[in-house]
Every structure is written in C-alpha cells, then in structure tokens.
Copies of this chain bind each other. A is one copy, B any other.
Amino acid sequence: MHAHGLSKKQVLAELKKIRRRDKHYDDGKILCSMCTKPHPMAIKAYRLFLTSNLGDPGLFSGSVQLEEEVINDLATLLHGENCVGHVVSGGTEANLMALLAARNMAHVNAPEVVLPESAHFSFTKICNLLDLKPVYAGLDDSFRVDPLQVEKCAGEKTVAIVGTAGTSELGVVDPIEELSRVALEHKVWLHVDAAFGGLVIPFLADAKLNFDFALEAVESITVDPHKMGMAAIPAGGIIFRDSKALDYIKTETPYLTDQYQYTFIGTRTGAAAASTWAVFRSLGVEGFKKVVGKCMKTTRLLADGLTDAGFKLVVEPTLNIVAFRSDGGTRHLVEKLRRQGWFVSYVPRYDCIRIVVMPHVKNRQALAFLKDLVVNQKC
C-alpha cells in the first residue's frame, strides 16, 4: 500500500488500463466459459443492490424478498412444492450444502458418496472437506453414469448419490430417473448437480428430460443463475425438497439479526438475488426459451460444421456444449486457436476440445471459429 492515496482520476485511469487486459464476452471469442455476459437488467439490479448483505437479513428485508422469490421461481421450474433454499455463491457452495445435509442426516461412520466419474471437480473439494469417501461409478457409451454401476457402488455407508444434469465437460445429462430408483431402493439422498443444465433443460424445445423434483428420490438440486441464468457472479442456487434439510446445516449466529444461518458463506451480497430476480422478471419462461433456443441452434450449426469438416463429435450435444476431436491430434489445436484469440477448453480425460455455446456466442462467431479451426487443422 502506498503511503498516500491517489486521485479518483488516477485510480480510475489505472483501473481502466488494467481492465483492458481482461478478455471480454462481447467479441464472442470466449468459447470455454460456463459464465456469460450478464443480462443488461442483471447488471442494473446488481448495481442497485450493491451494498445489501443477506448475511444480516434483518437489515435487508427487500433483498430477502427477492431471494425468496428467486428460490420459489427455481423450485417451481424444477417441479418442487414447498421447497426451501438459498441464493449462494455458486455451484461449489450449493453442492457443499447438499452433501453436508445428507452426511449430517445419515450420521454414519466413514461416510461415502457415490459420484459419476464425470462429476464436477467441486465434489473433490467437498469430499476433501467433509471427509466423505468418493466412490466413482463408471459411464456408459454416451458418457452418462451407468445406473448398474451406481447400484454396485451404493452400500451401507453411502450417504448420497449424485447425478449431473449437464456435465461440465460434455453437457451430458445423467439418467436421473434410474438413479432415483436406485436411491429409493437404498433409501439414500439423491442430489442433482444441475448447476449448468437447471436453467437449460426446462426451456428445451424437444428433449423431455426428467431430472428434477418430479422424481421422488431427488432431495436437493444445485442450479446456478450465474451460468445460463445470465445473472452476475456470485449467483448460485441450492434448493431442498424438504425444509427439514435445513436442520442439518444450520449454524447459530450469536449477534446478527437472524438466529440461524443456512449457508456456508456468512456475509453475502443481496445483489446476487436481485440480479437473478431481474433476469427472471425480464425474460419470463418465453424469454428463456428464446435464449436457450438460440444457443441450441448455434450448437447445432457448430456440431454439423465440425462433422462436415471431418472432426469427430465425442457425443451428440444434448445441451449447448459441443465436444470434438481431430484424427490428426487435438491438443495442439488449442494453442493455435489461442494465438488467434479463441479460447476453448482442452479436456484431457476425453482428449477433446470443449465449446460452451453461451448466449454471448453468435452464429457468425461460430462460423468464424469453424473457419479458423479448419485452417489450423490443415497447417
């Protein structure tokens, strides 16, 4: 820290200069992110609620109202009734609260959780924290977790089974319906990580994917407004089917305006709830269908173009994620594309390039990407 402060003008000029080193969503060249440019109303709402703290709800009852309405909207969208939940910092905290509730409720020695091999890496963090032993179930040919393997992995120590609705690497949706049957049989908590898919699947035109509270065993769902909900970071969501879950995750607060906290994070911005609320009200179901429809069209355009150019899709896209590889080698293409300004992910597990077709990616950018990709492959 310098001894003396600088003027507003100096600080702002320096900030703007440094900000130019960040990439921006507008040019459509970020193809590796599950976040996107927030909806204009998400930004306005965030600014309006910037000083709100949901960690001290007695002071911010307007923000509390917005959080409740967002949670109700999400629960209804996910076919839940009388659900409870919170706007949290993102998928990691949401998954944590779910597994914490499941672990504490089950209260067994040396607890285990059955995870798909394709589960998000946040579960590695969470298992490390919670001293939960992850037991990994393998995938079927289409990279969905194999329910027979889940069945085999489940035992007396299992406190939860996890399924993913929209894996981070391939956008695949696990067979949650079958997981629900396994979970019911074993009387075990089923958590669905729909951080990405939770705000895509309900708006898909064709696919009818059963993944939510309509399935009896589903006790909790993670769904992140700061991904396909176009809210500003940090806006995650955790929804529980039953309010009893809260008893297993609550902490007493000795001096705040509320007696208990049900989130891991204490001080947390109300702007996240406001930002989400603003998008939900601005778009409505029809608006979301349009956004998702557009993303799926661009996804199709990209998938077809890749196939036409001789690339192999790892799997047919279910959601707005495309993963592909090249017979001539894939990894080296990532660096070449980077030099042209394209940001794509390389996924070592499947030796593939992954593209997330977020709302900021337009058709013309997808086509420009294809063109650059094909040239790169040839030279």
Contacts from A to B (Cβ < 8 Å): 1-6, 8, 10-12, 14-16, 18-25, 30, 32-35, 37-38, 40-41, 43-53, 56, 58-63, 65-66, 73, 76-77, 89-93, 96, 100, 104, 121-122, 124-125, 128-131, 168-169, 224, 226, 232-234, 251-257, 261, 264-270, 274, 277-278, 280-288, 343, 345-349, 354
A234 touches B52 (CB 8 A): no
Could you tell me the distance between the alpha carbons of A268 and B261 in the complex, rounded to whole angstroms?
A: 21
Flag if B91 contacts A15 (CB, 8 Å): no
CA distance A169 to B255 in the complex (A): 7
Could you tell me the distance between the alpha carbons of A64 and B174 in the complex, rounded to whole angstroms?
A: 35
In Å, the complex CA distance between A89 and B255 comes to 20
B233 in contact with A18 (CB, 8 Å): no
- Extra contacts, 6 of them, besides A15-B45, A32-B56 (Cβ < 8 A), are A2-B284, A5-B287, A22-B60, A22-B62, A128-B251, A233-B269
Contact (Cβ within 8 A) A100 B122: no
| Contacting pair B121 A254 (CB below 8 A) | yes
* B53 adjacent to A35 (CB under 8 Å): yes
A25-B51, A254-B349, A345-B255 known; A14 and B286 CB under 8 Å? no
Tell me the complex Cα distance, A349–B124, Å.
Answer: 38
Chain B residue at minimal CB-CB distance from A120: B266
CB distance from A344 to the nearest CB of B (A): 10
Min distance, Cβ A50 to any Cβ of chain B, angstroms: 6
A22 contacts B254, C-beta separation under 8 Å: no
Q: Contact between A63 and B284 (Cβ–Cβ < 8 Å)?
A: no
Contact flag A255-B343 (CB < 8 Å), given A19-B62, A22-B59, A265-B234:
no
Cα–Cα distance between A196 and B54 once the two chains are bound (Å):
18
Q: Which of B4, B122, B232, B265 sits near A50, CB closer than 8 Å?
A: B232
